Structure 1
């Protein structure tokens, strides 16, 4: 099998199996009854974009390691997004790198193993066991050029055919792109790595100097700060959520304070 063909097969597999949540949320905005052609074009667009990206990165000595790593990570991301609604933005990438073994093992389940097996391990074995045809460099370049030309043609055709849809999709629904697998988490990882190399610091400045303390108010106030894990209040069965999410807490004599706020719902952001 040629490098180009293997790359296109993996790109198609990732596009079809890694974007269930993206499609689900897109259909809520663009119902299939009226927009099935546009929704289908989105999948083609994702395939074209991912294929072009992989063709730039995957060569004789890099194709298998890159594709296998991508398949394994995408399977984990797909499981997390489909089952927990997790968006792998810059903050979540940071949270992933800063987590510990205990927190990671809490997410391991039979269902997660099934995801990893069918969407990660088995496809990775296919890639690893595939024999890459030795093609002269000149022919390889020609194959890639032809593939890029076809992709550019498809890209232009899609944009011209659904220009109004793509315009509204980009302007009015930017949050949908955060569910695209694997391109969005790759973008987030790039952003995270870039932030680690950014050594610039913001100069110290004092703010709020015009604020004055009202010394006449002698009323005492109690402020409670809770430092630790956070969760979404509308996902607590203690607060009326239909699914059972607090089986252990319900056995305890606890009080659920519903009017609470948090600066974030992931460890790296809130702590």
Structure 2
């Protein structure tokens, strides 16, 4: 009797497991769009509803707008032959994107997507934490359900007719949603246009094609030459060659830079040296992918043309055309195209004891054999040191234990588990270490008496540490907070460099107090190295 009952109970369960529910591709798209709108857009809902909290009509309007927009986009992309693969990828991608967007309050525009594509193994590994379990599970459950479906097969004429009708319906739903609360929606688009970068996966579907254009990690084209007319002025007889060290900082912000008279002294070693500080320096972008190509370009932010910048050679190529030896030493994720075809040393994979561990090296690795590398080629040299610097969220891993002076610290990449004070302390300890590295670099240059030496330090962009609910960087430039665009810049010149180049250092100090930005770097370096070219802006 018990066996008979067990078999009777088991039959429905087995039948359910063996069943293959049948669904049209359009119905699958509609269900996926509804899932995206409800489960994958937490930050979008929080940001959009903040303007009209408690308004059910406004919430319904946003829901219809999200649902219709995603259904229309998926209606163009998803067909029966690729439906399961594309929808599955989008389900997992949406859950992961929603997780990181909510945790760090980031916006997925084309520049941020380009950053994601350029992220190397070391950077991505720092973001793989236990907190990913929940979004992965939330994406896995509907993905498994998708693969159990049996999609309706139609003749191609019927399929096209159904799809045309579906696209019209999806567009109608989106337009109807906008019209339902037209005044509120239009006000949102005027005052918070950036909210569109929070609608997931629409932000990925629309931003990815732009992120993949031109110079990017997936598709690269040869750089168009610039500055072929460049010529270095002849030195006086018996004069020494010049060595300019350009230290490219990472994620350092001006508000925490000790030389800018911040709340605490994060640059005690530089404060004891005859450096010239620029307290009102501003970046070209809010990410390395944007700022580095821009700051080494003759066009810059003032005449910004992303396609033009990425398609052409950089300042380093102009120096090379003039016969000045260049070298890029990297402890980060590459030069973003500005050193293409030029000498490069990647030190991020070094194994030097005391400086390197677990696939990462501290920035002092950039100073090893620096003098020997400079002397390896005769004549004037420009060497770029690309720091790991303050790259987040693992600020606590950017400095050795002896620089843990500001406490308590945030010793995890899960910034949500730390207080603002702990995050700022870890960040400032990393700045203390950068101060030390720069002071050591100056010491190395001072010891090279066979060269006239100089150093420029400038960060590529800043960082948000919780202000306005934002963390990390990469906010679209038009709405970026000052914490992500106001960066430190400091210069040092040996007495012989200043004298032989004819620099009026008192004039430089006076100029340092005024506004400047990354656009000044291109011609400043050419001027310091006395390179003549039509690209030089006096």
TM-score (norm 1): 0.76
Give the match for residue 57 of structure 1: 77
Distance 2:178 2:199 in 1: 18
Please give the root-mean-square deviation of Cα atoms over the aligned residues, in Å: 4.0
Structure 2 unaligned residues grouped into runs of 5+: 1-22, 230-272, 279-384, 397-405, 410-417, 435-457, 464-471, 475-483, 488-538
Give the match for residue 105 of structure 1: 125
Distance 1:249 1:230 in 2: 9
Q: Evaluate the alpha carbon distance shift between residue 192 and residue 80 of structure 1 in structure 2; reply closer, same or farther with a 3 A threshold.
A: same
Structure 1 unaligned residues grouped into runs of 5+: 207-218
Superimposed CA distance per residue, residues 173-215 of structure 1 (whole angstroms, 9 cap, x where no aligned partner) = 1111121111112222111111336858585599xxxxxxxxx
Q: Evaluate the alpha carbon distance shift between residue 48 and residue 55 of structure 1 in structure 2; reply closer, same or farther with a 3 A threshold.
A: same
Give the match for residue 154 of structure 2: 135
1:12 is matched with which residue: 9, 34, 38?
34
Q: Match of 2:194, SS? A: helix
Distance 1:46 1:26 in 2: 12
Distance 2:199 2:115 in 1: 19
CA-CA distance at 1:17 after TM superposition: 1.0
Q: Match of 1:32, SS? A: coil
Distance 2:408 2:78 in 1: 50
More strand by share: 2
**Structure with higher RCO (Cα < 8 A, 6+ apart):** 1
Distance 2:151 2:224 in 1: 48
TM-score (norm 2): 0.41
Distance 1:144 1:26 in 2: 31
CA-CA distance at 1:230 after TM superposition: 3.3
Q: Evaluate the alpha carbon distance shift between residue 195 and residue 253 of structure 1 in structure 2; reply closer, same or farther with a 3 A threshold.
A: closer
Superimposed CA distance per residue, residues 25-75 of structure 1 (whole angstroms, 9 cap, x where no aligned partner) = 1122x2223x43123211211110110111111112111111111111111
Give the match for residue 388 of structure 2: 228
Alignment of 1:75-224 (within 5 A): 75-118=95-138, 120-196=139-215, 201=224, 204=227, 220-222=274-276
Distance 1:23 1:67 in 2: 22
CA-CA distance at 1:122 after TM superposition: 1.6
Bigger Rg, which one: 2
Give the match for residue 344 of structure 2: none
More helix by share: 1
